Amino acid sequence: MRHITALIGRQILDTATVHLAAILPGHTRRSTHRLADDYGHPHGAGAIGPGADGLLRAVLVEALTTAPGPVEVLITHHDLEHLFGEMTDRVPLERFHNSLRVTDTLENAVEHVEERANGTERQKTPILWMATPGADADVVHQTLESCPAALLTALFKGPWPYGPTHVIEENGPRPRPHQPVSLLSPRQAVARLHATIPGA
Is the domain of 99 the same as that of 164? Answer: yes
Is the domain of 14 the same as that of 46? Answer: no
The CA distance from 143 to 152, in Å, is 11
Is 199 a domain residue?
no
Instruction: Note the pLDDT of residue 145.
Output: 93
Instruction: Note the pLDDT of residue 178.
Output: 75
Is 200 a domain residue?
no
The CA distance from 99 to 198, in Å, is 9
Is the domain of 15 the same as that of 110? Answer: no
Is the domain of 161 the same as that of 173? Answer: yes
103-116 pLDDT, tens digit per residue, is 999 999 999 999 98
Is 130 a domain residue?
yes
Is the domain of 54 the same as that of 137? Answer: yes
Identify whether 159 is preceded by a cis peptide bond (ω within 30 of 0). Answer: no
Is the domain of 156 the same as that of 178? Answer: yes
Is the domain of 138 the same as that of 174? Answer: yes
Is the domain of 143 the same as that of 46? Answer: yes
Is the domain of 8 the same as that of 105? Answer: no
Is 16 a domain residue?
yes
Query: 160-177: string of b/e by CB count within 10 Å (b at 16+)?
Result: bebbebbebeeebbeeee
Domain that holds residue 15: 1-30
120-161 pLDDT, tens digit per residue, is 655 678 999 999 999 999 999 999 999 988 889 999 999 999
Is the domain of 175 the same as that of 140? Answer: yes
Is the domain of 164 the same as that of 111? Answer: yes
**For every one of its 200 residues, what pLDDT tens digit does the chain have, with 9 covering 90 and above?**
443 333 334 343 333 433 333 334 443 334 446 899 999 999 999 999 999 999 999 999 999 998 567 899 999 999 999 999 999 999 999 999 989 999 999 999 999 999 988 876 556 789 999 999 999 999 999 999 999 888 899 999 999 999 999 999 999 998 877 778 999 999 999 999 999 866 54
Is the domain of 21 the same as that of 108? Answer: no
Structural domains counted in the chain: 2
Q: Which sign does the torsion angle of CA 176, 193, 108, 81 carry?
A: positive
